[in-house]
Structure 1
Amino acid sequence: MSVLVFADHDNASLGDATLAAVTAAGQLGGDVHVLIAGKGAQGAADAAAKVAGVSKVLLADDVAYEHALAENVAPLIEGLMANYDAVVAPATSRAKNILPRVAAKLDVAQISEAVGIVDASTFERPIYAGNAIATVKSSDAKKVITVRGTAFAKAATSGGSASIENVSGTGDAGVSTFAGAELTKSERPELTSAKIIVSGGRALGSADAFKTVIEPLADKLGAAVGASRAAVDAGYMPNDYQVGQTGKIVAPQLYIAAGISGAIQHLAGMKDSKVIVAINKDEEAPIFQVADYGLVGDLFTLVPEMTSKL
């Protein structure tokens, strides 16, 4: 069996979720190849070649793939699938946009957000907002799979010596253009790779409260800052800070939830954290059901107090 991993990268380096996808691909058996599609992406290709378990890196370096437009990248993957039994990608926004198109073109059912590989045809994936795990078996000749990066160990970034092969696709399909991106720049760790996360909910009441209450604690801990969907919808924090089923799935060593009640969709995104600390004035809040430690009280008093003692 041969498996193609569609890499999530920034042209210079690989995303951590891609390393988890390499591990998942290895569990399917056979050779693991990594596809780097981008512009000026030699750095990412070099990094992929060093990843343990990777036997070949395919580099599609073209201006058409610079911004990972699905209309351009999906045909590239579809063409390459003639030589592969499965394509695996991390369940990131980029792959969620591209792989369903690949599955449709190949006329197969996509297996989304797999958290376990039973064998080459059988997979485990969460349903009901993560409250149950379904075991699904696919009889499709070609498998199209996205995997949760928090469910698989990250492949080692050294020890590999894969060859790099240049490939080409159909180029620009001419049906979409990249208009621009509004990116949040921060010196704090990225949410999906952070070992510690401090998240705030709607109870904070404003964006200023995030800056004066949540961010000082995060800075003391060297943590990433997250937010509930309610806080994001209220405009307190940008979309890319959202933790939850409709945001980012995280599993840090320590997750501190301040003013978050614990809606099902939020719990689905963080309940695999190793240690969960909940701070909420409502002792009946659902978040306490999954928390390892709970503080019942006013977050505007308790969080600054925690910060002052660090």
Structure 2
Amino acid sequence: MSTVYVLVEHTGTELAPVTAELITAARPLGEVTAVVVGAPGETQALAPQLAEAGAATVVAAESDLNASRLILPQVDALSMLAAAAPGPIVISGGPTGNEIAGRLAARLASGVLIDVVGINADRTAAQSVFGDTIQVSAAVGGASPIYTLRPGVVDAVPQAAAGAVTALELPAVTAKDVTVTNFTPAVRGDRPDLTQAKIVVAGGRGVGSTEGFTEVVEKLADALGAAVGATRDAVDLEYYDASYQIGQTGVTVSPDLYIGLGISGAIQHTSGMQTAKKVVVVNNDEDAPIFQIADLGVVGDLFEVVPKLVDEINTRK
């Protein structure tokens, strides 16, 4: 049976939710080999979780130096494995994953497909393009085609496998390495990760201010246990941090429920959220384009509608 390599996303002791999605998406391509790039000992902690998710083999590409290096440890590990035993490679989509994919494609002389939403046994992949308005099937050549999967588009289906652990020694650090001398970790709140959240509450220009996000968007999100998102306009106006931007120049979300507040529905934003299963919007302009993709639309003042909704949700808890 052929082998497919999956780059594991993890925190050291826990798998990121997208890893199970990657393993599920990769399974039609062959027997899954999960590649863990991390510090010594981390693979042993992650191996049982990876086996439960469906990894037949777990490769420990560990080094004390990995935490201070960027990109190259992952590229080295995957390229070494694929050069020795060619097979498809599946990576989480995003700035880092896409750069890893590009470097691997150059090393392995194989094609790469970015931001796929599904992978087929014949090595073709589904892509949602032009603002998610057109679905296409794409194929690339090479012995080790590379795919970056959009987080949140595949439902993880665990399928227990052996999870046998093997070690891989990484090459020594070279002058080409970018070395991290210090960093400040991002402060993570109690809300779900935006790309993985089942419910997303997003605010746009109509929210009006940073205070509007705090008092309206965040309060509704917290009542629902949801993640908070923002449009590009809201970010440009400095109502909310750019890391929460949804759309063509932000992140793509596919929640079970998306609630848009004060959002007009420009393609820049809707391209990043219209795969949500249910879309609910509140806007005082009945002609706003976002109503065209909404399952439920409320024409009204969000500052009147949302507080009443929050109160009703809280009374039913």
TM-score higher than 0.5: yes
From 130, 133, 140, the equivalent of 1:131 is 133
Deviates more, 1:251-260 or 1:120-129: 120-129
Aligned to 1:78: 79
Q: 1:229 touches 1:266 (CA, 8 Å); kept in 2?
A: yes
1:226, CA displacement in angstroms?
Answer: 1.2
Asked if 1:92 is matched to 2:94, the reply is: yes
Matched position secondary structure for 2:252: coil
Aligned to 1:155: 157
Aligned to 1:282: 285
Asked if 1:247 is matched to 2:250, the reply is: yes
Change (3 A) 1:89 1:196: same
Q: Deviations over 1:107-151 (max 9, x none)?
A: 222111112223333222122121112211223222011112333
Aligned to 1:170: 171
Deviates more, 1:230-239 or 1:162-171: 230-239
Q: 2:201 touches 2:261 (CA, 8 Å); kept in 1?
A: yes
Question: In the alignment, residue 134 of structure 1 is paired with which amino acid?
Answer: V
Aligned to 1:110: 112
Aligned to 2:273: 270
Q: Deviations over 1:74-116 (max 9, x none)?
A: 1222111121311101213331231111112222221111122
Q: 2:59 touches 2:167 (CA, 8 Å); kept in 1?
A: yes
Aligned to 2:53: 52
TM-score (norm 1): 0.92
1:47, CA displacement in angstroms?
Answer: 4.4
Counterpart Cα distance in 1 of 2:283 and 2:238: 21
Q: 2:55 touches 2:160 (CA, 8 Å); kept in 1?
A: no
1:260, CA displacement in angstroms?
Answer: 1.3
Q: Deviations over 1:239-263 (max 9, x none)?
A: 3212223322222121110011112
TM-score (norm 2): 0.90
Counterpart Cα distance in 2 of 1:84 and 1:11: 27
Question: In the alignment, residue 202 of structure 1 is paired with which amino acid?
Answer: R
Change (3 A) 1:67 1:138: same
Counterpart Cα distance in 1 of 2:186 and 2:76: 27
Identical-pair percentage: 34
Q: Deviations over 1:200-243 (max 9, x none)?
A: 11222222211111111111111111111222232222232122
Counterpart Cα distance in 2 of 1:5 and 1:54: 9
Matched position secondary structure for 2:195: helix
Q: 1:112 touches 1:146 (CA, 8 Å); kept in 2?
A: yes
Q: 1:260 touches 1:287 (CA, 8 Å); kept in 2?
A: yes
Question: In the alignment, residue 293 of structure 2 is paired with which amino acid?
Answer: V
Asked if 1:231 is matched to 2:239, the reply is: no
Aligned to 1:144: 146
Question: In the alignment, residue 236 of structure 1 is paired with which amino acid?
Answer: Y
Matched position secondary structure for 1:78: helix
RMSD: 2.0
Q: What stretches of structure 2 of length at least 5 have no aligned partner?
A: none
Aligned to 1:4: 5
1:277, CA displacement in angstroms?
Answer: 0.5
Change (3 A) 1:269 1:184: farther
Counterpart Cα distance in 2 of 1:242 and 1:47: 34
Counterpart Cα distance in 2 of 1:5 and 1:251: 22
Change (3 A) 1:43 1:269: farther
Q: What stretches of structure 1 of length at least 5 have no aligned partner?
A: none
Change (3 A) 1:281 1:173: farther
Aligned to 1:201: 204
Q: 1:65 touches 1:73 (CA, 8 Å); kept in 2?
A: no
Q: 1:38 touches 1:68 (CA, 8 Å); kept in 2?
A: no
Asked if 1:36 is matched to 2:39, the reply is: no
Aligned to 1:215: 218
Question: In the alignment, residue 73 of structure 2 is paired with which amino acid?
Answer: N
1:72, CA displacement in angstroms?
Answer: 3.4
Matched position secondary structure for 1:265: helix
Counterpart Cα distance in 2 of 1:67 and 1:240: 23
1:44, CA displacement in angstroms?
Answer: 5.4
Matched position secondary structure for 2:103: helix
